[in-house]
Amino acid sequence: MMLSVALVGSLAAGIAVAWVPGYWGLGIVQGCLLAIAVVWLFAARSWYFPVVSVFPVLIGVWGWLQMVCSGSVANYVTRRDALQWSFAALGFLLASQVLRGSAARSLFLTSMVWVCAAFSLLGVLQLYSAPGTVLWYWPMEGAYFGTFSYKNQFGAMLELAVPAALYVMLFKTDRFWTGLSVFLALFAGAVACSSRAAAGLVTAETVLLLLLAWRAGKIRLSALLIALPGLALLLAGVAYISVNEVAVTHYQDVHLDAIRKELMKATVAMIGKAPWSGYGLGTWSFVYPQYALFDNGRWANIAHNDWLEWMAEGGVVYAGSFAGMLVLSARKVLRHPWSLGVLSLGLHSWVDYPTRDSVIGIFWFVMAGALAAASLRSKRDASEPPAEA
């Protein structure tokens, strides 16, 4: 139980300092995970790794293999990304072991949704009371939101948390009002951060969880028919209140979408030249100028599509490892609907880069590890009721 609390604490610490320039934000959560791993190694009575663990482990070692085999055009950049994904893989493995017990898993999920709700409210309050700052003190420019330097990473945090909050609200009848309060805080943040992908995916998660709850007999059809139009009104109301002039400009910015399409075309050309080996993790910005289709005088540092960038930097095997993890996870989501955010973040990565240089990649893998732990438990106990945490 204590290790599950430690996992929550490490992720919360990483979220709190996600805006800090350089490697500090990731370094804190990585140090915490390393400490948890040491304690677990001494305290563990048994190890049992699920089959899906192969894919996170492969992702974690791939960058190091590229450097050993001279497969990176910039080793120092690949080393940074390899370190990030190695700790994400460690987070997966720890979660798959530490959260095998339903009590530990329930404590982790409940605590994380409260943590994410708190940061969501902080982001909304900060938007209106002290725009242009982080934590009402440090000045910040660009597309930041809350404690994240990029609003889509903030939205990705909410995508991981919203299904767990809805699970508490709909499937844990004794905690309905608690779940509802947390869900509303998360939903408000998803719209206020003006991330189109986050707002759309959080809404889709909500609709799907309502349908699953109705199918499981947790809510009546009449309540579902009221809830869905109510959700639409809630979305419209929060959007009207929260979306400021900057957000409206972003939602209507077709020029930005055109630039992203050109970046993706160039990335596809990069993949065609090195489909198996890639150019090295984190090296997209080094290689892109050779394939650029336009020049607007600005530095392009990202492809705005994590999947294409994973394939360009690591090759098809590396990108396929992410896909393999999601495919195996997708088979278990209906039984454990609180984990729907694992798939949502995979979809979000098709149109943006929510996991780049951020605690979000580790949070994503920890949630996938929690799902793997729940699945291990389900195989051992056939009498476990559906949708158990």
Of 298, 19, 307, give the one whose Cα is nearest residue 145: 19
Torsion of the alpha carbons at 36, 361, 291 and 252, rounded to the nearest 10: -160
- The secondary structure of residue 382, as a DSSP letter, is T
Q: Locate 148 and state its tokens.
A: 């994240």
Whether 232 maps to a domain, the answer reads yes
Q: How far apart are CA 33 and CA 365, in angstroms?
A: 12
Residue 95 forms part of a structural domain: yes
User: Do the domain assignments include residue 156?
Assistant: yes
pLDDT band at 133 (very low <50, low <70, confident <90, very high): confident
Look at residue 364 and tell me if it is in a domain: yes
Widest pairwise Cα distance in the chain: 62
Q: Which residue range(s) make up the domain with 277?
A: 2-380
- What domain count does the chain have? 1
Average pLDDT over residues 113-120: 95
Asked whether residue 86 is domain-assigned, the answer is yes
In a domain, 56, yes or no: yes
pLDDT in tens, 240-277: 544 444 444 444 444 666 788 888 999 999 999 999 98
pLDDT tens digits for range 299-329: 778 888 999 999 999 999 999 999 999 999 9
Residue 125 in domain? yes
Q: 29-40 pLDDT, tens per residue? A: 999 999 999 999
Measured CA to CA, the distance from residue 158 to residue 201 in angstroms comes to: 10
pLDDT at 17 over 60: yes
Q: What percent of the chain is predicted at pLDDT more than 70?
A: 86
pLDDT at 224 over 70: no
Compute φ and ψ for 67, nearest 5 degrees. Answer: -70, -40
Residue 385 in domain: no
Dihedral sign, Cα of residue 20, residue 22, residue 26, residue 31: negative
**Please, what sign has the CA dihedral across residues 127, 131, 134, 135?**
negative
231's tokens: 């959700």
pTM exceeding the 0.85 threshold for the entire prediction? yes
